[in-house]
């Protein structure tokens, strides 16, 4: 992930989890978890329409999505962060511990 993708992802994660996420480092694992949340949430389907189907089962999204698609996903997450954080809010509680660990490199 390049610095722009990281910044966009960080802004979205901040919107979702608040001030505690300030110390979290954005990396490929965090992207994969956010992507998993999007995939799981039935309310954010419009964003997932950007992603080519079928999904590669058992493979981390960061590995099979092209850089352009990844950048496009995180850019849209940032641009409409209120909307996407709202539609992910119930799913986000299930993944908070996962994201904390990933962001701390665990």
Longest Cα–Cα distance of the chain, Å, equals: 36
79 touching another protein, by CB under 8 A: no
Output phi, psi for 66, to 5 deg: -70, 160
Q: Minimal distance in Å, beta carbon 68 to another protein?
A: 28
**Binding span for another protein by CB under 8 A among 2-10, 19-27, 50-58, 64-72:** 19-27
Token look-up 């058992």 returns: 58
CB atoms closer than 10 angstroms to residue 98? 16
What does the per-residue mask of binding to another protein show for 38-57, with x meaning CB under 8 A? --------------------
Task: Out of 6, 75, 76, 98, name the contact with another protein by CB under 8 A.
Answer: 98
Query: With contacts defined by CB under 8 A, how many residues of the chain interact with another protein?
Result: 25
CB atoms closer than 10 angstroms to residue 16? 22
Task: Out of 2, 63, 66, 106, name the contact with another protein by CB under 8 A.
Answer: 106
Q: Residue 62, Cα to own-chain centre: how many angstroms?
A: 10
90 touching another protein, by CB under 8 A: yes
CB atoms closer than 10 angstroms to residue 75? 15
Which residue lies nearer to another protein by CB, 24 or 35? Answer: 24
């Amino acid at each position: 992930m390049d610095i722009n993708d990281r910044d966009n992802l960080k802004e979205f994660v901040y919107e979702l989890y608040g001030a505690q996420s300030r110390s979290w480092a954005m990396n490929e694992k965090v992207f994969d978890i956010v992507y998993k949340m999007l995939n799981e949430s039935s309310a954010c389907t419009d964003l997932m329409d950007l992603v080519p189907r079928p999904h590669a089962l058992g493979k981390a999204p960061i590995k099979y999505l092209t850089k352009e698609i990844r950048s496009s996903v995180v850019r849209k997450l940032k641009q409409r962060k209120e909307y996407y954080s709202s539609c992910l809010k119930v799913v986000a509680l299930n993944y908070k511990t996962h994201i904390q660990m990933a962001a701390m490199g665990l």
